Amino acid sequence: MDPARVDPRTTVGLFLRQAARLGGRPVVHHHREGAWREVGWDRMRTSVLRVAARLVAEGVLAGERVALMSENRLEWLYCDLGIQAAGAVTVPIYPSSTAEVAGRIAAEAGVRVGFVSGPALAARLGVERVVRMDEELQRWVREAADPALVEEVGLRCAALRPDHVATIIPTSGTTGAPKGVVLAHRCLVDMARICARTFDIGEDDVALSLLPYAHVFERVNGVLVGLAAGGSIWLSRGADRVVEDLAECRPTVMVSVPRMYEKMHQQVTALVRRQPPWRRWLVGWALEQGRRRARGQFSPLHRAADRLVLGRLRQRLTGGRLRFFVSGGAPLAPEVEEFFWAIGVKILQGWGMTETSSGATSNRERHHRPGTVGTPLPGVEVRVADDGEILVKSPGNMLGYHGDPEATAEALVDGWLRTGDIGELDPDGFLRITDRKKDLIKTAGGKYVAPQPLEARLQEDPIIERAVVVGDERPYCVALVVPDWSAVRDLLGLEGAPEHLVEDPRLVAAVRRRVDELNRALGSWETLKSFRLLARDLSEEAGELTPTLKVKRRVVQERYRDLIETMYRRRAPSGGPDD
């Protein structure tokens, strides 16, 4: 197949041209049978085209939707590009989705054929034709395809146009049922190329890929940017192995959600807490030198601080050659952002959404303002409406919501996307996100409260793992708080089962002090009048978090309805649980 015949503004055209140019150079590293394995561009090209050929043999038509339901793995990438090389449309489904959710997504998209990683997901997807990656797909990529099918794939690739649909991505569903976001080939490719240029990603860059491929953030910024730049990607073994993976693959760039960076920060904090006093003092002193350096204040002591502490932390957390982290998908806590810059690791907070093909704004290495999500990417326009809603006009803007013209017309107005996020632009064009419009709490008194900033400030306390603020159509706001049980043991010296400790007056008093401290900086209408402690954190498995770890507020409020009601029947004057 001649890649020159395939439009370069399609995902397939981008990939095939790079594969022809880079040949045997490594493009993907994955862990299998106890070791890291390398896949070259040419081998990946062959596998992608074989998948496409077999889809044609299965009767998949150009424009037909094909589901892809699997955890991250090499075959996910083969299938995604193979589906599009056959002229079809990828419909990614999170492997954590229930049978009901997966079935609804597949049915609404009109899916007949789907790829799954194994038997459990095969039973859950429930479409007419299911191809298992651990069995049938392995044969597809090993065996040469019928030349007639390969020729048909070539014709379909050549027929692809930038405006053709590449994928329909279900939204995360934090505020209701998922909607299918329709993205054209040009949306994905244009944004990937913009990001590669803006962040100066090149062939020598190595990315560690961790977030689910069903999410647009990783799929565009973790994978497609790397393909556009000609770099290489290492597939992480998962969140529980990410520290090992960082040490072994030593990436130069990585994208992830704030929760991962918060966990890294918490690990360091917990490690320091267990050190003798003199070493804790040394780390604190070194971090202060790093903070001064990050603020542009020259300190003659920074070199010593870097040699003794900061450099070792960088090596431990990043592998030693990282250029920068990118954080997106949710607000990054200020203390976490400050920590990474203090140790000499650039962490660049950005913002975007599925409807903008991932990123719309971002901080850069040399153009950074803490507490903001940066300035618009090249080619992207951002403005703030009178009610505070952020509007975006971007090459990545979606074509619309699949099968929902009313929602499309509401979201896209004269080329501008109504994002549903609330924010403000400073005089230099840096965007600050205040909250999600649908997350805004309207109290019974008619006052609006943005919960996310309050939650983030509570979570800065080392003994608080998570906070969820509640108060819509209520007389005042309250919070559900999950303690960090490791910190509770280390800092408060409390031992015992979490189910019992949530009633311990010493822990309650410690959380109350943090809540009272927060309240002193708030207007009366947004103060937290009460809180309750939860013994366990929220989880994706329980349906309380999305796969990108965003809180499903409606689910949480329903699940803990009885506990929440206790805070409105009677509350303690001190602001904590009732005495």
Nearest to 373 by CA among 328, 428, 422: 328
Residue 279: CB partners within 8 Å, gap ≥ 6? 272
Confidence of residue 299 (pLDDT cuts 50, 70, 90): confident
365 within some domain: no
* pTM as predicted: 0.85
Sheet of strand 65-69: strand arrangement: 129-132, 113-116, 65-69, 89-93, 165-170, 180-184, 400-401
Task: With a cut of 70, say whether residue 578 has pLDDT above it.
Answer: no
508 within some domain: yes
477 within some domain: yes
Cβ atoms 470, 479 nearer than 8 A: yes
Residue 264: CB partners within 8 Å, gap ≥ 6? 243, 317
Condensed to tens digits (0 to 9), the pLDDT of residues 354-411 reads 999 999 999 999 999 999 999 999 999 999 999 899 999 999 999 999 999 999 999 9
What does the block give as tokens for 71?
A: 């955890």
Which range scores top for mean pLDDT: 437-441, 442-446, 527-531, 571-575? 527-531
Q: How far is CA 539 from CA 105, 214, 331, 482, 545, in A?
A: 22, 18, 18, 12, 5
Task: With a cut of 70, say whether residue 173 has pLDDT above it.
Answer: no
Give me the residue label for tokens 């997966």.
102
Compute the mean pLDDT over every residue in the chain, rounded to the nearest whole number: 93
398 within some domain: no
Q: Could you give the count of Cα atoms lying within 13 Å of 515 in the half-sphere of its Cβ?
A: 28
Beta-ladder partners of 183: 167
> How many domains is the chain built from?
2
Cβ atoms 290, 305 nearer than 8 A: yes
Task: With a cut of 50, say whether residue 579 has pLDDT above it.
Answer: no
107 within some domain: yes
The length of the chain is 579
Condensed to tens digits (0 to 9), the pLDDT of residues 60-96 reads 999 999 999 999 999 999 999 999 999 999 999 999 8
So what's the pLDDT on residue 9? 98
Domain boundary among 138, 161, 184: 161
What is the arithmetic mean of pLDDT over 207-224? 95
Instruction: Residue 495: give the domain boundaries.
Output: 440-569
CA gap 491, 499 in Å, rounded: 19
So what's the pLDDT on residue 549? 78
CA gap 181, 401 in Å, rounded: 5
What is the arithmetic mean of pLDDT over 416-429? 94
Task: With a cut of 60, say whether residue 495 has pLDDT above it.
Answer: yes
- HEC assignment per residue over 210-221: CCCCCCHHHHHH
Domain boundary among 161, 179, 202: 161
So what's the pLDDT on residue 159? 98
Q: Could you give the count of Cα atoms lying within 13 Å of 234 in the half-sphere of its Cβ?
A: 23
Nearest to 131 by CA among 121, 143, 144: 121
Nearest to 479 by CA among 578, 335, 575, 336: 575
Domain CATH number, residue 511: 3.30.300.30
278 within some domain: no
Q: How far is CA 50 from CA 30, 79, 153, 154, 354, in A?
A: 20, 10, 9, 11, 29
Task: With a cut of 70, say whether residue 577 has pLDDT above it.
Answer: no
CA gap 350, 377 in Å, rounded: 10
- Which amino acid, 161? R
Task: With a cut of 70, say whether residue 574 has pLDDT above it.
Answer: no
Domain CATH number, residue 62: 3.40.50.12780
* Structure letter (DSSP) for residue 131: E
CA gap 119, 500 in Å, rounded: 40
280 within some domain: no
Condensed to tens digits (0 to 9), the pLDDT of residues 497-542 reads 999 999 999 999 999 999 999 999 888 889 999 999 999 999 888 8
Give me the residue label for tokens 């699997």.
70
Task: With a cut of 70, say whether residue 570 has pLDDT above it.
Answer: no
Phi and psi, residue 114, nearest 5°: -145, 150
Confidence of residue 298 (pLDDT cuts 50, 70, 90): confident
The burial of 315, by beta-carbon neighbours within 10 Å (0-12 exposed, 13-18 middle, 19 or more buried), is given as middle
Task: With a cut of 70, say whether residue 433 has pLDDT above it.
Answer: yes
What is the arithmetic mean of pLDDT over 447-458? 86
| Count of beta carbons in the 10 Å neighbourhood of residue 445 | 10
So what's the pLDDT on residue 447? 82
Q: How far is CA 444 from CA 166, 472, 570, in A?
A: 45, 7, 17
247-262: b (≥16 Cβ within 10 Å) or e: ebbbbbbbbbbbbbbb
Cβ atoms 158, 5 nearer than 8 A: yes
Measured at the CA of 17, the angle between CA 11 and CA 23, to 5 degrees, comes to 125
Q: How far is CA 116 from CA 45, 125, 455, in A?
A: 21, 8, 37
310 within some domain: no
Q: Could you give the count of Cα atoms lying within 13 Å of 249 in the half-sphere of its Cβ?
A: 30
Residue 4: CB partners within 8 Å, gap ≥ 6? 17
CA-based end-to-end distance of the chain: 75
CA gap 569, 521 in Å, rounded: 26
Q: What percent of the chain is predicted at pLDDT more than 70?
A: 97
User: C-alpha dihedral over 213, 217, 219, 221, to 10 degrees?
Assistant: -140
Confidence of residue 575 (pLDDT cuts 50, 70, 90): very low
Task: With a cut of 70, say whether residue 166 has pLDDT above it.
Answer: yes
Sign of CA dihedral 93, 99, 104, 110: positive
Domain boundary among 161, 192, 224: 161
Condensed to tens digits (0 to 9), the pLDDT of residues 8-19 reads 999 999 999 999
Nearest to 390 by CA among 441, 431, 440: 431
* Structure letter (DSSP) for residue 204: T
Q: Which helix (H) or strand (E) holds 157?
A: helix 147-159
CA gap 5, 155 in Å, rounded: 9
* Structure letter (DSSP) for residue 332: P
Confidence of residue 441 (pLDDT cuts 50, 70, 90): confident
Beta-ladder partners of 130: 114
Cβ atoms 29, 43 nearer than 8 A: no
Condensed to tens digits (0 to 9), the pLDDT of residues 245-282 reads 999 999 999 999 888 898 899 889 888 988 999 999 99
- Reading phi first (left if > 0) and then psi (alpha if -120 to 50, else beta), residue 531 is in beta
So what's the pLDDT on residue 240? 86
